[in-house]
Structure 1
């Protein structure tokens, strides 16, 4: 069947999970478990996965895990942590035990992500055109116009098909009741999709006996879907648009992903020095001369795209690129100015944004959020600092935040001073009892907290990659899943 991965159907003898194996000592510790709480008598696939996990030998699993890590390194599937000068090439730790999502669960996620991306694109068009949502008081005007990611130069500019966010990563968590909640939106240059695909390849290579016969939604379409979306939004009068991926270069933390995606799409990987603008048109330097470029998937931030339009000291971008874009001769994905939509302060208004533009209730709800720029939000945060997660609105990767229950009294007081000095830079949220998934540890299978980043690609329509990046906090009790903070990843199995 197209879109599925797996071999022969599970046998009837595998339906009952064998006891006395790895899962016998597995404890959920009161958290919602992605595998055990999803189990139902009618779900043969989950029963089969549990049965097979139970029968695995722990030393054999460790041997295969070591083999997987060695292969990841040898294949160059690495990332960089800028704060660690000794870790230029670091693999993202890979856990062999997959995170399983049932078909009904995935239906909720897929519809919710599609709804959210649709609302974000409507919001971005409005704030750069009519600003009706500001006039109607749905969002305070200063939250948008005073946002550091708002680009006044985008006012009145029509992007092809009204699509500003061509690639979106929605960070989703699950609480103690199993409810899916959106933690944040990533509408600028979301990363991590390469690990989704490579994790699947790795699972099928090193642990085929766990996946055999399980009907899994395939993940290999991503490159084709992304390339088609970039063709969809290219200038309309071009018969065969040339798509390229623009990378900052080899020292970027996600450079492996840039190489991977260019290969998956079958398009050139370029740096700023490989492109030139002449007569408001973009060309790529090749050994055969200049070649026109019509659609650019950029993996560098707005400020570095064009030294004429943004930072004059940028060595990474292309001089004149924004002028060529505004002339309609090239498309940039994601569009300039999308950072307003994934700002953590704007995130708090997403339920209102969805209702305003779509006249629908949100399918996926936000985590409760307090905006410290507002007096009530600041007061609540200061009064409950030891109970909350407080985050800077412009940071990512788990940097600059404090988790109140895990902080010392001294750390809390130090953070209180930062908060009082610049309240507009922060939001706060309750500590969510994140769901867990079985994870291979020294003593066997243990519960570790996970989140999920599904990736949505939008051209003429929105398509959501089945599954997404499941990040796992490898340290016992840790709620921080970011790779830059010691987290790892799992293969995400969406059952057909």
Structure 2
């Protein structure tokens, strides 16, 4: 019996590989045939080899809520998610448009605030956002770029339409798993990847290095670029070290840097070396104890002064969090119309903002149908999935919404698309829900979208939560060549 012989999708749910009749979707025949040439037993062996390879490579993450502070191997399913070249081109166009609008919004809210003055977005919603930083008003980002790296989460609804679920514009993580998944897939199934004609993801580190160099206050040849990490106890430390190594850059902690005369310097055995670009993976709350948290041991005193003077570029720029606030998200289509005079190319999920009286009343009356999210939480935390909740859980969230309406938004539960996924327990392929995080780079030379991205999968049957911290895993994402 071949791998997909017993596979059946879920009724009323879009499957990423097969249509409702069980046929490979257009353009996927070659890849599906290559995958299906194995029996379930043979594929199970490949899956075991892939897991061992990732274990040996130390592909891990940490869960903050785990009291033991233990690192975990990032679960991976060797069965890929496929996306056609034509569909990917449409996503690239839509992501580029969205990033341009979000970039202009950030320049505006830290500048003239035209969109607020004209009432296109409620002023108090933006200025009251947790991650809006009023101290940055009037500041311009060195190099003219604020969103150097983004990870915009997408889902696909039952009609097959991609929709933006949320914007990650501060310190988006996960791209190292994209690159490592491809390495392991090619090692375990080399012929399958070749036969399927898949676009490359291996260029990402070089592209990221080029993006960072493009915003340096000096020429690329003269620039010193570093990756700033909070240290080995951070949940994404594997990624910090991976990216620094693959880009050929120094991985530094706060103690390795200092500021003198509004310039950033790196301590070396040969004496101080000027730093021009910092790819920071430290949350801005800890970035500079002179400006943010006074008790931070993870930041560099004075680095914000150096940034404000244009002497160092910080990627991503401080203050971006106001643009990926889950309540501000509801107004991104309006940003596209206001700044670009265009209609949005990407759909997004209908969102009720509890800050608005009518929206709040509707949400409270329909809690059992809604997914309620705290605007300042991530990783699947601070969330109520109404259709799967108890009456007590809904009552608790009702009280939270009434007490702090600005802190909550709600969306209807969308049947996320499924993708064939290996189930080790049963030794067969089963449908599991997925989302997609494409990674985009934005430098002086424009935007570039990595042809692939992180497909996250809910490994538990019936689950909608794909976050690694909540038991989710990942898949390689194969974008077909034209």
- Could you tell me the TM-score, scaled by structure 2's length? 0.96
> How big is the shift at 1:239?
4.9
Cα deviations by residue, 1:284-342 (Å, 9 ceiling, x for unpaired): 01111111100000001111011111111000010111111111111111111000000
Indicate conservation of the 8 Å contact 2:3/2:38, yes or no: yes
Residue 109 (structure 1) aligns with: 91
1:127 aligns to 2:105 (yes or no): no
2:221 and 2:198 mapped to 1: Cα distance? 36
Residue 454 (structure 2) aligns with: 469
Indicate conservation of the 8 Å contact 1:121/1:162, yes or no: no
Residue 60 (structure 2) aligns with: 78
Candidates 127, 137, 152, aligned match of 1:155: 137
> How big is the shift at 1:87?
5.7
Indicate conservation of the 8 Å contact 1:434/1:450, yes or no: yes
1:287 and 1:108 mapped to 2: Cα distance? 49
Give the SS at the match of 2:267: strand
Give the SS at the match of 1:59: helix
Indicate conservation of the 8 Å contact 1:297/1:334, yes or no: yes
Residue 228 (structure 1) aligns with: 210
Counterparts of 1:389-404 in structure 2, within 5 Å, are 389-404=371-386
> How big is the shift at 1:237?
6.2
1:298 aligns to 2:280 (yes or no): yes
1:338 aligns to 2:320 (yes or no): yes
Structure 1 pair 279/160, CA: closer, same or farther in 2 (3 Å)?
Answer: closer
Residue 441 (structure 2) aligns with: 457
> How big is the shift at 1:49?
2.4
2:175 and 2:24 mapped to 1: Cα distance? 33
> How big is the shift at 1:60?
2.0
Give the SS at the match of 1:449: strand
> How big is the shift at 1:162?
2.5
> How big is the shift at 1:64?
1.9
Indicate conservation of the 8 Å contact 2:151/2:438, yes or no: yes
Indicate conservation of the 8 Å contact 1:345/1:393, yes or no: yes
1:396 and 1:301 mapped to 2: Cα distance? 13
Indicate conservation of the 8 Å contact 1:473/1:487, yes or no: yes
Give the SS at the match of 1:386: helix
> How big is the shift at 1:208?
2.0
Cα deviations by residue, 1:177-215 (Å, 9 ceiling, x for unpaired): 000000000000000000111110010011224223221
Indicate conservation of the 8 Å contact 1:81/1:87, yes or no: yes
Residue 371 (structure 1) aligns with: 353
Indicate conservation of the 8 Å contact 1:455/1:464, yes or no: yes
> How big is the shift at 1:375?
0.4
Cα deviations by residue, 1:14-51 (Å, 9 ceiling, x for unpaired): xxxxxx5232211111210011139988955x112222
1:205 aligns to 2:173 (yes or no): no
2:220 and 2:80 mapped to 1: Cα distance? 43
Structure 1 runs (4+) greater than 6 angstroms displaced:
38-42
Candidates 1, 6, 10, aligned match of 1:29: 10
Counterparts of 1:136-285 in structure 2, within 5 Å, are 136-236=118-218, 239-285=221-267
1:40 and 1:62 mapped to 2: Cα distance? 23
Give the SS at the match of 2:433: strand
Indicate conservation of the 8 Å contact 1:125/1:162, yes or no: no
Q: Which ranges of structure 1 fall in alignment gaps of 5 or more residues? A: 1-19
Give the SS at the match of 1:231: helix
2:215 and 2:390 mapped to 1: Cα distance? 50
1:459 and 1:488 mapped to 2: Cα distance? 30
Residue 448 (structure 1) aligns with: 432
Cα deviations by residue, 1:90-116 (Å, 9 ceiling, x for unpaired): 111000100000011101111111111
1:22 and 1:76 mapped to 2: Cα distance? 29
- Could you tell me the TM-score, scaled by structure 1's length? 0.93
1:278 and 1:238 mapped to 2: Cα distance? 22
Indicate conservation of the 8 Å contact 2:218/2:276, yes or no: no
1:422 and 1:408 mapped to 2: Cα distance? 21
Moved more, 146-155 or 431-440: 146-155
Give the SS at the match of 1:25: coil
Number of corresponding residues: 476
